[in-house]
Amino acid sequence: MRVEIEIPPKDLTISSGCEIALAGKGVTWKESCIGAKVKETGVYVIHHGGRIKYVGKTNGPSMSFGMRLRREFQESASGGKHLYPQLASLTVPPAIMVSLFSSTEVQQLVRAPDLNLSGYQAVEIFETVLIHTYCPDFQCHHINRTAAYLKKLGYTQPDHLKGLLPITSRDE
Protein backbone atom coordinates (compact mmCIF):
# COMPACT_ATOMS: atom_id res chain seq x y z
CA MET A 1 0.00 0.00 0.00
CA ARG A 2 1.07 3.53 -0.67
CA VAL A 3 -0.09 6.92 0.58
CA GLU A 4 1.05 10.01 -1.32
CA ILE A 5 0.81 13.41 0.33
CA GLU A 6 1.40 16.68 -1.46
CA ILE A 7 2.49 19.35 1.04
CA PRO A 8 2.09 22.96 -0.05
CA PRO A 9 5.22 25.06 0.58
CA LYS A 10 4.98 27.18 3.75
CA ASP A 11 5.19 30.44 1.82
CA LEU A 12 2.27 29.44 -0.40
CA THR A 13 0.18 28.47 2.62
CA ILE A 14 1.02 31.74 4.37
CA SER A 15 0.22 33.83 1.28
CA SER A 16 -3.26 32.32 0.97
CA GLY A 17 -4.47 33.34 4.43
CA CYS A 18 -7.35 35.52 5.53
CA GLU A 19 -7.22 37.85 8.51
CA ILE A 20 -9.11 36.74 11.63
CA ALA A 21 -9.42 39.00 14.65
CA LEU A 22 -9.58 37.86 18.25
CA ALA A 23 -12.78 38.59 20.14
CA GLY A 24 -12.26 39.26 23.83
CA LYS A 25 -14.98 39.01 26.48
CA GLY A 26 -18.13 40.79 25.40
CA VAL A 27 -17.02 41.12 21.78
CA THR A 28 -18.91 39.28 19.05
CA TRP A 29 -16.73 37.15 16.82
CA LYS A 30 -17.52 37.48 13.13
CA GLU A 31 -17.08 34.48 10.86
CA SER A 32 -17.51 36.53 7.68
CA CYS A 33 -13.72 36.70 7.35
CA ILE A 34 -13.72 32.98 6.50
CA GLY A 35 -15.81 33.56 3.40
CA ALA A 36 -17.28 30.73 1.35
CA LYS A 37 -15.53 28.01 3.40
CA VAL A 38 -17.29 28.96 6.67
CA LYS A 39 -19.51 25.83 6.66
CA GLU A 40 -16.86 23.46 5.27
CA THR A 41 -14.61 21.08 7.20
CA GLY A 42 -10.90 20.40 6.88
CA VAL A 43 -7.50 21.59 8.10
CA TYR A 44 -6.58 25.14 9.11
CA VAL A 45 -3.20 26.80 9.55
CA ILE A 46 -2.87 29.83 11.85
CA HIS A 47 0.07 32.11 11.07
CA HIS A 48 1.35 35.47 12.23
CA GLY A 49 4.16 37.63 10.89
CA GLY A 50 5.19 34.97 8.38
CA ARG A 51 5.51 32.21 11.01
CA ILE A 52 3.18 29.26 11.35
CA LYS A 53 1.78 29.15 14.87
CA TYR A 54 -0.74 26.28 14.85
CA VAL A 55 -2.19 23.58 12.60
CA GLY A 56 -5.60 22.15 13.46
CA LYS A 57 -8.62 20.43 12.01
CA THR A 58 -12.35 20.56 12.31
CA ASN A 59 -13.44 17.69 14.53
CA GLY A 60 -15.62 15.59 12.28
CA PRO A 61 -18.36 16.28 9.77
CA SER A 62 -20.54 18.28 12.18
CA MET A 63 -17.91 20.92 13.02
CA SER A 64 -17.33 23.59 10.40
CA PHE A 65 -14.42 26.01 10.03
CA GLY A 66 -16.71 28.73 11.40
CA MET A 67 -17.50 26.77 14.57
CA ARG A 68 -13.92 25.56 15.16
CA LEU A 69 -12.29 28.94 14.60
CA ARG A 70 -14.84 30.68 16.84
CA ARG A 71 -13.74 28.29 19.59
CA GLU A 72 -10.13 29.29 18.96
CA PHE A 73 -10.52 33.05 18.45
CA GLN A 74 -13.39 34.05 20.78
CA GLU A 75 -12.43 34.24 24.45
CA SER A 76 -15.86 33.26 25.75
CA ALA A 77 -16.18 30.31 23.33
CA SER A 78 -12.71 29.07 24.28
CA GLY A 79 -13.30 29.56 27.99
CA GLY A 80 -10.07 31.58 27.91
CA LYS A 81 -8.19 28.28 27.59
CA HIS A 82 -6.50 26.16 24.98
CA LEU A 83 -5.18 28.18 22.04
CA TYR A 84 -6.84 31.52 22.85
CA PRO A 85 -4.24 32.74 25.41
CA GLN A 86 -1.40 32.00 22.99
CA LEU A 87 -3.17 33.88 20.21
CA ALA A 88 -3.91 36.77 22.58
CA SER A 89 -0.18 36.99 23.39
CA LEU A 90 0.68 37.82 19.76
CA THR A 91 1.41 41.44 18.94
CA VAL A 92 -1.05 42.85 16.42
CA PRO A 93 -0.21 44.24 13.85
CA PRO A 94 0.70 42.21 11.94
CA ALA A 95 -2.69 40.51 11.77
CA ILE A 96 -3.32 36.93 12.77
CA MET A 97 -4.04 35.00 9.59
CA VAL A 98 -5.61 31.62 8.83
CA SER A 99 -5.24 29.47 5.74
CA LEU A 100 -7.92 26.86 5.09
CA PHE A 101 -7.74 23.49 3.33
CA SER A 102 -11.25 22.10 2.80
CA SER A 103 -11.84 18.36 3.02
CA THR A 104 -12.26 18.32 -0.76
CA GLU A 105 -8.87 20.00 -1.25
CA VAL A 106 -7.26 17.67 1.29
CA GLN A 107 -8.55 14.60 -0.55
CA GLN A 108 -6.73 15.87 -3.65
CA LEU A 109 -3.51 16.32 -1.63
CA VAL A 110 -3.71 12.95 0.21
CA ARG A 111 -3.93 10.08 -2.23
CA ALA A 112 -4.00 6.39 -1.44
CA PRO A 113 -4.77 4.39 -4.59
CA ASP A 114 -4.96 1.07 -2.71
CA LEU A 115 -7.14 2.39 0.12
CA ASN A 116 -10.56 3.92 0.30
CA LEU A 117 -9.82 6.87 2.61
CA SER A 118 -12.78 8.89 3.81
CA GLY A 119 -12.55 12.68 3.74
CA TYR A 120 -12.10 12.73 7.49
CA GLN A 121 -9.31 10.12 7.38
CA ALA A 122 -7.51 12.24 4.80
CA VAL A 123 -7.96 15.31 7.03
CA GLU A 124 -6.46 13.43 10.02
CA ILE A 125 -3.43 12.38 7.96
CA PHE A 126 -2.96 15.83 6.41
CA GLU A 127 -3.15 17.63 9.76
CA THR A 128 -0.52 15.33 11.28
CA VAL A 129 1.82 15.68 8.31
CA LEU A 130 1.50 19.49 8.30
CA ILE A 131 2.29 19.65 12.03
CA HIS A 132 5.45 17.63 11.51
CA THR A 133 6.42 19.42 8.30
CA TYR A 134 5.64 23.02 9.27
CA CYS A 135 6.73 22.69 12.95
CA PRO A 136 4.24 25.28 14.28
CA ASP A 137 5.51 27.45 17.13
CA PHE A 138 2.60 26.48 19.41
CA GLN A 139 2.94 22.73 18.77
CA CYS A 140 6.57 21.84 19.45
CA HIS A 141 5.34 19.40 22.10
CA HIS A 142 3.70 17.24 19.39
CA ILE A 143 6.94 16.98 17.47
CA ASN A 144 9.02 16.31 20.58
CA ARG A 145 6.58 13.64 21.82
CA THR A 146 6.68 11.84 18.47
CA ALA A 147 10.48 12.10 18.31
CA ALA A 148 10.79 10.64 21.81
CA TYR A 149 8.50 7.75 20.89
CA LEU A 150 10.40 7.00 17.69
CA LYS A 151 13.68 7.11 19.59
CA LYS A 152 12.24 4.56 22.02
CA LEU A 153 11.49 2.33 19.02
CA GLY A 154 15.10 2.59 17.87
CA TYR A 155 14.88 5.34 15.29
CA THR A 156 17.62 8.00 15.39
CA GLN A 157 18.68 10.93 13.32
CA PRO A 158 21.71 11.00 11.00
CA ASP A 159 24.35 13.54 12.09
CA HIS A 160 23.94 15.67 8.96
CA LEU A 161 20.24 16.25 9.82
CA LYS A 162 20.59 16.99 13.55
CA GLY A 163 18.41 19.92 14.47
CA LEU A 164 16.55 19.93 11.15
CA LEU A 165 14.10 17.08 11.70
CA PRO A 166 13.02 15.26 14.85
CA ILE A 167 13.78 11.68 13.62
CA THR A 168 14.58 10.45 10.13
CA SER A 169 16.17 6.99 9.95
CA ARG A 170 16.32 3.71 11.83
CA ASP A 171 19.48 2.28 13.38
CA GLU A 172 19.90 -1.35 12.34
State residue 151's pLDDT score. 77
Q: Please report the pLDDT score of residue 169 as a whole number.
A: 40
Sequence-separated (6 or more) residues with CB below 8 Å from residue 126: 5, 43, 57, 101, 106, 109, 110
Instruction: Give residue 171's pLDDT.
Output: 39
Q: What is the pLDDT of residue 47?
A: 97
User: What pLDDT shows up at residue 155?
Assistant: 75
pLDDT of residue 163: 55
Q: What is the mean pLDDT of each run of 10 residues along the chain (172 residues)?
A: 92 93 89 89 96 93 92 89 91 93 95 89 94 89 69 67 47 36
Closest to 55 in 3D by CA, of 164, 117, 143: 143
CB atoms within 10 A of CB 21: 14
Q: For position 167, what pLDDT does the model report?
A: 46
Mean pLDDT of the chain: 86
